[in-house]
Amino acid sequence: MHLLQLLLRAGRGILVLVLCLQLGTNKAQEDTREIIKMQLDMPSTAKENEEVTVKLIVETELRECMVIKTYLQGSHPVDGPFNYLYTACLCEDYPRTFYWDFVVNRTMAIATVVHVINNEGTCPNISVVPNGKDYYYTTRKIQTV
């Protein structure tokens, strides 16, 4: 009962301070930004020996730029005259789009991988390497019909 009386005697200033601190704590917990967001566009079925296109859009919600390497990883080897590996600068206001064209000769799983790396000179401004995980991936299956 004594504690309740002390709380009721507390000045308005202290109550406003407690309210502000509580609101500030809640705001800080909600302000989380995604490091890597991936949007993969590829067909789920293809005819045998048909050329397919895989499109990957990579973006970030971080304010700082970062250097990424992105590549495909297949459950079976894929032959093709294209570059499997791209290195690029990724910034908040400039999402990157990558394309891969290759021939599907059997049903396979494809993983698109984005690796955040520390590489000087790729970004025009200072680039950062965020704390936490540095590999992000998404997988899909292409089935031959």
Question: What pLDDT, in 10s, does the model give residues 6-48?
Answer: 555 655 556 555 556 666 555 555 558 899 999 999 999 999 9
Contacts of 139 (CB under 8 A, 6+ apart): 109, 110, 111, 112
Confidence class for position 105, pLDDT limits 50, 70, 90: confident
Based on the structure, what is the number of domains in the chain? 1
With respect to residue 130, please indicate whether it lies within any of the assigned structural domains: yes
What pLDDT, on a 0 to 100 scale, did the predictor assign at position 124?
Answer: 85
Domain CATH for 140: 2.60.40.10
Q: Which domain holds residue 85?
A: 37-144
With respect to residue 10, please indicate whether it lies within any of the assigned structural domains: no
Indicate the residue type of 134: D
pTM: 0.75
- Say if residue 122's pLDDT is above 60: yes
With respect to residue 15, please indicate whether it lies within any of the assigned structural domains: no
What pLDDT, on a 0 to 100 scale, did the predictor assign at position 20?
Answer: 60
With respect to residue 137, please indicate whether it lies within any of the assigned structural domains: yes
| 116, β-bridge pairs | 68
With respect to residue 87, please indicate whether it lies within any of the assigned structural domains: yes
72 near 104, Cβ under 8 Å? no
The mean pLDDT value of the chain amounts to 83
64 near 127, Cβ under 8 Å? yes
Confidence class for position 77, pLDDT limits 50, 70, 90: confident
With respect to residue 106, please indicate whether it lies within any of the assigned structural domains: yes
Please report, for residues 27, 44, 58, 115, the alpha-carbon distance to residue 31 in angstroms, rounded to integers and kept in the order given.
6, 36, 21, 24
With respect to residue 116, please indicate whether it lies within any of the assigned structural domains: yes
Q: Comparing 82 with 40, which gets the higher pLDDT?
A: 40
- Say if residue 55's pLDDT is above 90: yes
Sign (positive or negative) of CA dihedral 75, 76, 80, 84? positive
For the chain, what percent of residues have pLDDT higher than 90? Answer: 50
- Say if residue 91's pLDDT is above 80: yes
With respect to residue 41, please indicate whether it lies within any of the assigned structural domains: yes
What pLDDT, on a 0 to 100 scale, did the predictor assign at position 7?
Answer: 55
